[in-house]
Amino acid sequence: QALHHLQVNNELVSQENKGLREALQTKKKHKQKGVPLDLQQRQEYHGGAVMWSPRKGREAEVRRTIRERQAEQEKLDKAKRKQGKEDAKIQKQLELEQRRDERERLKKEREREKAKKAAERERQKADKEAAKSSQATQELKRKAPQMSYLKKKRQKQSGGGASKVAVPEAAPSPPARTTSRGRNITLPSKFR
């Protein structure tokens, strides 16, 4: 009796399942909207029943497929344009980044060149100063013996030993001042 009961339950469940599937299929069929065929009517149509030939039906079907293809093609074109715009945008961003990197690189290079030139100018200035100072000391060394020679000569020329007058020594003149272009600077007489 339990076996008979299980068989009946199984049969009822399978029947119910089958009915639900059929109901679902019919519901799906009703959901699909039917697109009316583009059956072109003549201008003199004033209403009433119209009989369409199979040829008109085929022509309408062809027009519908053409419209569907065109719509699909438009979708594809739109997607391609969108993708093209995205690619162009990405390309533009890459170019902007490359230009920015190039500007940064050139800026750093100019800064290095500027620092190098400044260091070179400083070195040349230091070399000039060293050369001037060594030249000035050499001139003083050359002038020193001449001054002592002149002093001795003056002492000999002055009469005897009784009237020796001490001649004030002329202080050696400092080396001539020069401008950055190398010209000598002479002070006016009222400032000497």
**pLDDT tens digit string along 64-121?**
899 999 999 999 999 999 999 999 999 999 999 999 999 999 999 999 999 999 999 9
Say which residues have a Cβ less than 8 Å from residue 143's Cβ, sequence separation at least 6.
172
Separation CA 169–CA 176 (nearest Å): 20
**What's the number of domains the chain is made of?**
1
> What's the count of helices (H) and strands (E) in the chain, helices before strands?
2, 2
Would you say residue 157 lies in a domain? yes
Residue 10: inside a domain, yes or no?
no
Asked whether residue 18 is domain-assigned, the answer is: no
The full length of the chain comes to 192
Q: Residue 12 domain-assigned? A: no
Residue of higher predicted confidence among 44 and 51: 51
Which residue has tokens 């060149």? 113
Considering the domain boundaries, does residue 133 fall inside one?
Answer: yes
pTM of structure:
0.37
Provide the residue range defining the domain that includes 42.
34-191
